[in-house]
Amino acid sequence: MIFSNCKNLEISGLKHINSPKFHISITDCHYANISSLQIIAPPLSPNTDGIDIASSSNIFIHNSTIKTGDDCIAIKGGTSNTTISEIVCGPGHGIRFVIFSHTHTHTHTYGGSGFARNITFSNINFTAVENPIVIDQFYCPHKICNNKVSTI
């Protein structure tokens, strides 16, 4: 599902199973309330992000379960004022969640420029997590990468 150029978006009560790529994409949206979702993909499925957010603001994601092979929630460039709470995430990769189980938790930048600031992690329960929190400006999912200069 792709949502683009929207205001006052409401997504609730949906169940996504085995999407071949990302499940929900939100781009250039402002004031979104996303809740009560169940997103499921096999643990080793590549590029099956639960929710991708880019160039959006005032996004509230809560009360959902996201179990994918990739990022539970990916927050990309140009996004601000995003609140994520009451999320069950894992397996897969996660970002700013309340409950993590068998995950790798990363905040990535993909060679863009800008900043990461005012990030708060609180009241988090980690279970069998390899890297609890990583903020990585040189993220490279491939063997050969050109991320050698700080972009943040």
Determine the pLDDT at residue 62. 93
Told to judge if 102 belongs to the known catalytic residues of this protein, a careful annotator would answer: no
Name the catalytic one among 49, 52, 70, 71: 70
Q: pLDDT tens digit string along 91-139?
A: 776 654 544 444 444 444 444 556 667 777 777 787 887 777 776 666 6
How far apart are the C-alpha atoms of 25 and 49, rounded to whole Å? 9
With 60 as the cut, is the pLDDT of residue 1 above it?
Answer: yes
Residue 61 clears pLDDT 60, i.e. is over it: yes
Instruction: List, in order, residues 6 or more apart from 23 with CB less than 8 Å away.
Output: 1, 16, 39, 41, 48, 49, 50, 51, 68
Q: What would the pLDDT profile of 21-56 be if each residue is shown by its tens digit?
A: 899 999 999 999 999 999 999 988 888 899 999 999
Q: Tell me: pLDDT of 65 over 50.
A: yes
Residue 140: per-residue pLDDT: 66
Q: Which of 93, 102, 106, 108 is catalytic?
A: 93
Provide the whole-model pTM: 0.77
Tokens of 126: 């980690």
> What confidence tier does 148 reach under pLDDT thresholds 50, 70, 90?
low
70 is a catalytic site residue: yes
How, if at all, do strands 80-89 and 51-54 pair? Answer: unpaired
Would the pLDDT of 19 be above 60?
yes
Return the higher-pLDDT residue of 26 and 144: 26
Q: Select from 56, 45, 44 the least CA-distant residue to 19.
A: 45
Exposed, middle or buried: residue 54 (CB in 10 Å: 0-12, 13-18, 19+)? middle
